[in-house]
């Protein structure tokens, strides 16, 4: 392209054009005394196209993005990957249809299920107790679920398959094999690749899901590429997916006043990928690989390899499993003492996300901090010499929910497999009649049917979904997370869940 959107916006801001149109700040820098880019913030005026009916520069930019990301069709998203996931699922199903979903998907997937009142079958990820991480989705589990559904007398056949790969922690599923299995039934495979927008731009990282046969791929380019927060892409491939329907929902759910600053950010990111990616990625990969090699020599903390063959090496997962420290505590030490902000903390690890935006001095600071903490653990013997664990049962835990001990460690991070009694939409509908529900403390919820979600954010993967019968295992997880200092989101009241009477 001869001119990017950003360059056109800059040229316009330097011109003598005066706007009698939105937005209300009128590009008046004197009105608000803040360093905010008002000069580039415009609406759909002459010469700047319309995202919802693109014919000119925005059409060209989206076509360029499709080429760069190896997709047949690409659309800009200014409401994050969330709007892409919602549109993908709603556009691939009709109200009341059935969908097959990986149970470790983001909460936006469950919101789409609710919006279209879908029936859902779940595939649970494999779990690796050695690293205490939920792993990949087994293709054979997907094959079995589809075979059972299509051979059964059930009239409500599965209409789409939705998985996440890579996960927040960098775990990859075998997209190529899964796509072939799903396509045998003539239905689309939707992949939440929000954390894999950097895939395919250097041999150090895997190819992206567009190249592996996925029908719809959603990527948050703001997560792992140099683009502003809230920017994302949705890609569509092949003949199976109903592209018109997906486009219709994008028009419905995306803002009718898309930010030109956000779209310019996407375009500049794509311009960088087209023209300068080799140099930037090579430097980044060299730094990252050195960091990973250095961290492998930690004594008590541990760098977790999140895949046996292929995984996202940009994610640095630092485990505290063999110490008496929790992931939350390591997070706070790194933040308060070293001024290093992690992406997330979980029960037994912290996650440091890296990207081509990282500088060597930042990476070096992280390595130095982790080695200092590792040495302190040695001095204070804050590690498990014998790997001894505390008793793992609700009675022991619930007795101390009012005054949780400092070093509470979970004993399993595996997603609990809960019985679905009602579809989520039906459960939430029942809860609208307040005579049907009661709010109970976690420890009293076992056996009841939830009308609320319960999840940590990040990563936003529900532990409990409305319509599911709450198990003892699920409550143990909630209570232990709470005791370890995590906020449980999704419910109206802290420490309680609303359930059907």
Structure confidence by residue, pLDDT tens digits, 282-300: 999 999 999 999 999 999 9
> Residue 411's pLDDT is what?
56
The answer, yes or no, to whether residue 394 has pLDDT greater than 60, is no
What CA–CA distances, in Å, run from 447 to 295, 395, 471, 501? 44, 16, 6, 11
Instruction: Give the Å distances, CA to CA, from 200 to 81, 179, 197, 205.
Output: 19, 18, 8, 6
Q: Would you give the DSSP letter of residue 334? A: H
Banded model confidence at residue 388, pLDDT cuts 50, 70, 90: very low
Q: What is the pLDDT of residue 205?
A: 97
User: Which own/partner pairs from 392-397 qualify as long-range (CB within 8 Å, at least 24 positions apart)?
Assistant: 392/476, 393/476, 394/443, 394/446, 394/472, 394/475, 394/476, 394/479, 397/476, 397/479, 397/480, 397/483
Report the pLDDT value the prediction gives residue 442, as an integer from 0 to 100. 96
Longest dimension (CA), the chain: 74
- What local confidence, expressed as pLDDT, does residue 32 receive? 86
Q: Say what the pLDDT of residue 231 is.
A: 98
Tell me the pLDDT of the chain averaged across its residues.
92
**Position 406 pLDDT exceeds 90:** no
Token code pair at residue 350: 């912290």
The DSSP letter of residue 130 is: T
Residue 219, pLDDT > 60, answer: yes
State the CB neighbour count (10 A cutoff) for residue 180: 15
CB atoms within 10 A of CB 447: 11
Pairing of strands 98-102, 119-123: parallel
| Residue 405 pLDDT | 47
Q: Using an 8 Å Cβ cutoff, are 58 and 5 in contact?
A: yes
Give the model's pLDDT for residue 413: 73
Instruction: Give the Cα separation of 450 and 436 in Å (integer).
Output: 12
pLDDT higher than threshold 50 for residue 399? no
Find, among 329, 331, 322, the residue nearest to 301 by Cα: 322
Note the pLDDT of residue 186: 98
Lowest mean pLDDT among 208-212, 395-399, 454-458, 459-463: 395-399
pLDDT at 387 over 90: no
Q: Residue range 352-364: average pLDDT? A: 98
């Amino acid at each position: 392209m001869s001119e990017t959107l950003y360059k056109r916006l800059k040229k316009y801001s330097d011109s003598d054009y005066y706007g009698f149109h939105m937005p209300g700040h009128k590009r008046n820098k004197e009105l608000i005394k803040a360093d905010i880019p008002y000069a580039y913030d415009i609406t759909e005026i002459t010469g700047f196209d319309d995202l919802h009916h693109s014919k000119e520069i925005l059409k060209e930019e989206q076509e360029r993005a499709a080429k760069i990301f190896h997709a047949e069709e690409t659309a800009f998203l200014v409401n994050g990957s969330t709007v892409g996931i919602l549109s993908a699922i709603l556009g691939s199903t009709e109200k009341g249809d059935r969908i097959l979903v990986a149970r470790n998907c983001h909460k936006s997937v469950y919101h789409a299920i609710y919006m279209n009142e879908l029936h859902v079958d779940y595939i649970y990820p494999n779990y690796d107790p050695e690293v205490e991480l939920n792993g990949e989705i087994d293709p054979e589990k997907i094959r079995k679920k589809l075979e059972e559904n299509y051979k059964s007398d059930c009239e409500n056949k599965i209409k789409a398959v939705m998985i996440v790969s890579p996960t927040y922690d960098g775990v990859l599923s075998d997209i190529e094999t899964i796509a072939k299995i799903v396509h045998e039934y003539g239905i689309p495979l939707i992949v939440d690749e929000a954390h894999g927008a950097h895939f395919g731009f250097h041999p150090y990282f895997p190819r992206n899901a567009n190249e592996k046969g996925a029908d719809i791929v959603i990527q948050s380019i703001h997560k792992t590429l140099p683009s502003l927060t809230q920017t994302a892409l949705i890609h569509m491939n092949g003949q199976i997916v109903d592209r018109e329907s997906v486009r219709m929902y994008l028009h419905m759910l995306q803002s009718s006043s898309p930010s030109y600053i956000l779209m310019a950010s996407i375009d500049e990111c794509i311009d960088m990928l087209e023209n300068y990616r080799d140099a930037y990625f090579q430097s980044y990969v060299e730094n990252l690989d050195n960091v990973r090699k250095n961290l492998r020599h930690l004594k008590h903390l541990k760098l977790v390899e999140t895949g046996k063959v292929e995984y996202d090496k940009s994610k640095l997962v630092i485990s505290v499993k063999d110490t008496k420290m929790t992931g939350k505590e390591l997070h706070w030490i790194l933040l308060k003492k070293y001024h290093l902000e992690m992406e997330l903390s979980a029960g037994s690890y912290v996650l440091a996300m890296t990207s081509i935006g990282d500088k060597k001095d930042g990476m070096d600071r992280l390595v130095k901090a982790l080695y200092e903490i590792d040495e302190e653990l040695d001095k204070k013997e804050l590690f498990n010499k014998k790997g001894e664990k505390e008793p793992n049962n609700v009675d022991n835990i619930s007795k101390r929910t009012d005054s949780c001990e400092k070093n509470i460690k979970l004993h399993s991070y595996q997603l609990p497999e809960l019985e679905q009694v009602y579809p989520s939409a039906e459960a939430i509908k029942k809860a609208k009649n307040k005579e049907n529900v009661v709010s109970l403390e976690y420890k009293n919820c076992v056996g009841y049917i939830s009308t609320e979600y319960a999840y940590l954010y990040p990563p936003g993967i529900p532990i409990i979904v409305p319509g599911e019968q709450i198990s003892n295992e699920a409550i143990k997880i909630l209570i232990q997370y709470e005791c370890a200092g995590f906020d449980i989101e999704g419910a109206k009241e802290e420490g309680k869940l609303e359930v059907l009477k």
